């Protein structure tokens, strides 16, 4: 019995081992954010995804994408494909990012496998009161590195991008510094699997650590591509160097960024370059900013779109932050053509509805009397869809008079095709008569391009847009004077069908005779 069981078990294993191996199709699925989220500048947000079938050694790029899924800029390039989440320290890394609607796009390094969020998420401004760093660091290899957009007066309120490095309540540093030569340098938000090793370095996100900052930051714009193989990592402490905060405010010392950056000097004032322009921690200085958004009836933004539907009714939404007392702002349309809109004497955040938009490319600007705050937005409205309507000259009532029981003709009425982005010919036929007319009374319809005199019994007519045609009815027997008859004509052309109703009103005239 035992041998029999072993043989059966081995046979079962053989059967399964003989089955062909089916490789899973390579795929990536973004699961968070996936639509409807609100994500705040300065916060840490965990981007999540699942994947299958990706080859060993593959890398992923995480990108910020627009509402259509088009990649705008890297959030985290060159991430090993076995990882399925990433903590993103959200920074304003794209123009007019605050208030915008975005998606997350994740793709393989080759771009052959990719996915984007199903829906958009909205980005909101950072919370006030966060300790903010400012000033400059210096590298003899790459030059100046700015820790705050206020250093160069290029924040969003001046038409640039809000960015900075923030000291958080838990003593971590998050955000972005900027180098005009190597791009963004990210603080915080890395996985512990990311960090390299080095003599005396510590594999953590950068931390104040009392007055002895530790950990790693990284240049992310190119992730080392084209930089002689440099992976972008910069260490704030090592066996023979470190960055310090000697007075609780000013940073001193050096970080190390391999051969590309080399030594990164934090206390540039000690070199005599400037008196107090080195990296330092200070109370957050509110950045004055204004933002203008234009939304449709669902609340979705129109900004940046080139396919806004004709006749969309817009809502103009403006946000004012930290403006000086007494500042007033106004919204104006700076583009030509289209539907006009303007709003003046704005002193606080608000919104107002506008008139339906006709086809045009729209550019609106919000500007303030402090001469520094401005924001411009643009989008394009599509032309009106092809359409036409049927118009009846002089109204729809068409009288017919009977002198006796014999036949009678109605008056002639002119109807026209009124086009809207429409150029196809339209064929007109009689669709119905209500109430129905019973035999032996007979309707004859005249549909003509010119006249129904002499009488021509045409059941249909084809006319060009903006042209007119004649409608007339002949009735073989006297009709009751009530009710009114609704005669519906149908116009068909260019894949569109429209209707118009003539009202036939019969009357009976009794002849009178007088002696002469």
Cα–Cα dist 53/379, whole Å = 40
| Contact indicator for 277, 266 with CB cutoff of 8 Å | no
pLDDT attached to residue 227: 45
Helices (H), 202-336: 258-261
Enter the pTM of the model: 0.42
pLDDT attached to residue 509: 78
Cα–Cα dist 455/453, whole Å = 5
CATH second-level architecture of 292-381? Sandwich (2.60)
User: Do 27-124 and 387-508 share a fold?
Assistant: yes
Give pLDDT tens digits along the chain (516 positions).
545 545 554 454 445 455 555 557 899 999 999 988 888 876 788 999 999 999 888 899 999 999 999 988 888 888 888 889 988 878 656 655 777 889 999 999 888 899 999 999 988 766 543 447 888 898 888 888 988 887 777 776 666 777 888 888 788 888 888 888 888 888 887 777 778 888 999 999 998 888 899 999 988 765 444 445 567 889 999 999 999 987 788 899 999 988 788 899 988 877 666 666 788 886 444 556 788 899 999 999 998 899 999 999 999 999 887 777 888 999 999 999 889 999 999 999 999 999 999 999 999 999 888 655 677 889 999 988 899 999 999 888 888 888 766 788 888 889 999 998 888 999 999 999 898 887 777 888 889 888 888 887 888 899 998 888 999 888 888 887 667 899 999 999 999 999 999 898 888 877 666 666
pLDDT attached to residue 332: 92
- Which pairs with CB-CB distance under 8 Å and at least 24 residues apart come from 347-354? 347/320, 348/320, 349/318, 349/319, 349/320, 350/317, 350/318, 351/315, 351/316, 351/317, 351/318, 352/315, 352/316, 353/313, 353/314, 353/315, 353/316, 354/294, 354/313, 354/314, 354/315, 354/316
pLDDT attached to residue 514: 67
Token representation of residue 344: 């003046």
Q: Which residue has the tokens 């496998």?
A: 113
Residues in the chain, overall count: 516
pLDDT attached to residue 20: 55
| Contact indicator for 161, 154 with CB cutoff of 8 Å | yes
Cα–Cα dist 30/430, whole Å = 56
Q: Greatest CA span in the chain, whole angstroms?
A: 135
CATH second-level architecture of 27-124? Sandwich (2.60)
In what side-by-side order are the strands of the sheet with 342-346? Answer: 342-346, 329-333, 360-368, 374-381
CA dihedral 357, 360, 363, 366 (to 10 degrees): -20
pLDDT attached to residue 158: 66
Enumerate the domain spans of the chain. Answer: 27-124, 131-282, 292-381, 387-508
Q: What is the CATH number of domain 387-508?
A: 2.60.40.10
Q: Which letter does DSSP use for residue 478 in this model?
A: P
User: What value, to the nearest 5°, has the Cα angle with vertex 412 and ends 408 and 417?
Assistant: 140
């Amino acid at each position: 019995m035992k041998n029999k069981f072993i043989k059966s078990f081995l046979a079962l294993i053989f059967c399964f081992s003989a089955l062909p191996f089916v490789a899973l199709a390579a795929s990536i699925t973004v699961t968070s954010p996936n639509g409807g989220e609100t994500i705040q500048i300065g916060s840490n947000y965990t981007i999540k995804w699942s994947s299958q079938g990706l080859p060993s050694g593959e890398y992923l790029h995480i990108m910020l994408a627009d509402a259509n899924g088009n990649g705008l800029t890297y959030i985290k390039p060159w991430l090993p494909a076995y990882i399925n989440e990433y903590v993103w320290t959200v920074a304003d890394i794209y123009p007019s990012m605050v208030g915008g609607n975005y998606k997350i796009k994740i793709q393989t390094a080759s771009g052959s496998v990719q996915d984007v969020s199903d829906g958009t998420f909205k980005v909101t401004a950072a919370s006030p009161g966060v300790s903010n760093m400012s000033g400059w660091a210096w590298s003899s290899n790459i030059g100046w590195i700015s820790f705050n957009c206020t250093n160069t007066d290029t924040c969003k309120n001046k038409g640039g991008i809000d960015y900075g490095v923030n000291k958080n309540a838990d003593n971590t540093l998050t955000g972005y510094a900027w180098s005009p030569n190597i791009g963004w340098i990210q603080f915080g938000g890395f996985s512990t699997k990311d960090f390299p090793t080095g003599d005396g370095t510590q594999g953590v996100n950068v931390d104040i650590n009392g007055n002895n900052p530790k950990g790693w930051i990284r240049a992310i714009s190119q992730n080392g591509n084209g930089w002689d193989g440099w992976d972008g990592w910069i260490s704030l402490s090592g066996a023979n160097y470190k960055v310090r905060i000697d007075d609780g405010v000013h940073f001193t010392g050096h970080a190390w960024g391999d051969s590309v950056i080399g030594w990164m000097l934090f206390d540039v004032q000690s070199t005599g370059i400037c008196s107090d322009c080195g990296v330092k921690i200070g109370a957050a200085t509110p950045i004055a900013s204004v933002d203008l958004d234009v939304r449709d009836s669902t609340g979705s933004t129109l900004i940046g779109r080139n396919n806004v539907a004709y006749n969309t009714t817009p809502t103009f939404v403006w946000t004012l932050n930290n403006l000086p007392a007494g500042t007033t702002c106004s919204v104006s349309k700076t583009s030509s053509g289209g539907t006009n809109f303007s709003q003046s004497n704005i002193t606080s955040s608000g919104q107002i509805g506008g008139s339906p938009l006709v086809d045009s490319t729209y550019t609106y600007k919000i500007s303030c009397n402090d001469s520094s705050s401005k924001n411009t937005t643009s989008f394009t409205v599509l032309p009106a869809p092809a359409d036409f309507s049927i118009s009846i000259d002089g109204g729809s009532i068409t009288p017919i008079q009977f002198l006796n029981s014999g036949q009678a003709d109605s008056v002639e009425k002119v109807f026209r095709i009124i086009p809207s982005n429409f150029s196809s010919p339209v064929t007109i036929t009689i669709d119905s008569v209500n109430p129905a007319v019973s035999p032996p009374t007979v309707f004859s319809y005249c549909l003509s391009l010119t006249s129904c005199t002499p009488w021509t019994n045409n059941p249909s007519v084809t006319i060009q847009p903006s042209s007119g045609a004649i409608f007339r009815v002949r009735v073989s027997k006297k009709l009751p004077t009530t009710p009114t008859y609704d005669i519906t004509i149908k116009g068909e052309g260019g894949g569109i069908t429209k209707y118009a109703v003539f009202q036939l009103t019969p009357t009976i005239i009794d002849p009178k005779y007088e002696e002469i």
